[in-house]
Amino acid sequence: MNASVLPPALRTRLESGLDALALDRTLATPLLDYLALLLRWNRTYNLTAVRDPLEMVDKHLLDSLAMHPHVDAIAAAGVALADLGTGAGLPGIPLAIAKPGLRVTLVESNGKKARFMREAIRKLGLVDVRVAESRIEALDEPGAFDAITARALATLPLIVELGGHLLKPGGSLLAMKGVYPTDEVAALPAGWSVTGSYPLRVPGLDAERHLVVVRRDPR
């Protein structure tokens, strides 16, 4: 399955969302190729609970891309980002499509999801993306990443507990959240601090979203 066999309404919806996010409409084709592959695999392997293609455009593609301005510096510098508990590759694969040069490691322990992502990477030609089939806490790459991200994974303290070892000193966690997580921020361990919080507007979704940036203090 590829983008050419998807209903035209999906492209219209996605292009409108890309406009709202100030992203180029030419991204619609590779993003829809990814979505088409996800839809095909999802019929057999149940990779995501969202099954309606129009919902997938909003809840998967556009929701993942809403944070895109905050990875521009990472992509421009050619440094490494780890997407923790990425599932079927969200937000890592849409971000890699939108930001050529962004080096992404997709961390996922589920074998079916890891196999899907490897196939997606191959078909989409994402040369700067790789899959680490591992539990987050077991990934033996200490200090390998300049940034880590997580989308609807866990509380901030738990994300830090599981994946903080992957960050270089001075590196940042880019955590995608719903409402601002006041209690989670207060529970962050010593050595970690919030350096920014940014409301995100996701086209097609009437829900509160925030990107919370947590920095690992330099040592």
The residue ranges of every structural domain in the chain are: 3-216
Q: Which residues contact 96 (CB under 8 A, 6 or more apart)?
A: 102, 104, 126, 128, 129
Question: Which pair of tokens denotes residue 188?
Answer: 């962050």
Which pLDDT value is given to residue 31?
Answer: 97
**pTM for the full predicted model:** 0.94
Predicted local confidence at residue 203, as pLDDT: 94
Token pair listed for 172: 């940042």
C-alpha torsion angle, residues 150, 20, 51, 91 (rounded to 10): -20
Q: How many CB atoms lie within 10 A of CB 154?
A: 17
- pLDDT for the residue 4: 59
Q: Which of 112, 70, 208 is nearest to 81 (CA)?
A: 70
- Predicted local confidence at residue 51, as pLDDT: 84
| Spans in the chain with pLDDT lower than 70 | 1-5, 219
pLDDT at position 68:
97
Class of domain 3-216: alpha beta
Note whether 1 and 32 are within 8 A (CB). Answer: no
- What are the pLDDT digits (tens) for 74-86? 999 989 999 999 9
204 in helix, strand or coil? coil
The structure tokens 């987050």 sit at: 136
Instruction: Using a pLDDT cut of 70, give the percent of the chain over it.
Output: 97
> Does residue 199 sit in helix, strand or coil?
strand
What digits encode the pLDDT tens for the residues 126-161?
Answer: 999 999 999 999 999 999 999 999 998 899 999 999
| Helices and strands, counts by H and E, the chain | 9, 7
Q: What is the DSSP string of 181-196?
A: -HHHHHTPPTTEEEEE
Whose CA is closest to 68, among 156, 160, 164, 149?
A: 149
Task: Give the angle subtended at the CA of 204 by the CAs of 5 and 53, to the nearest 5°.
Answer: 25
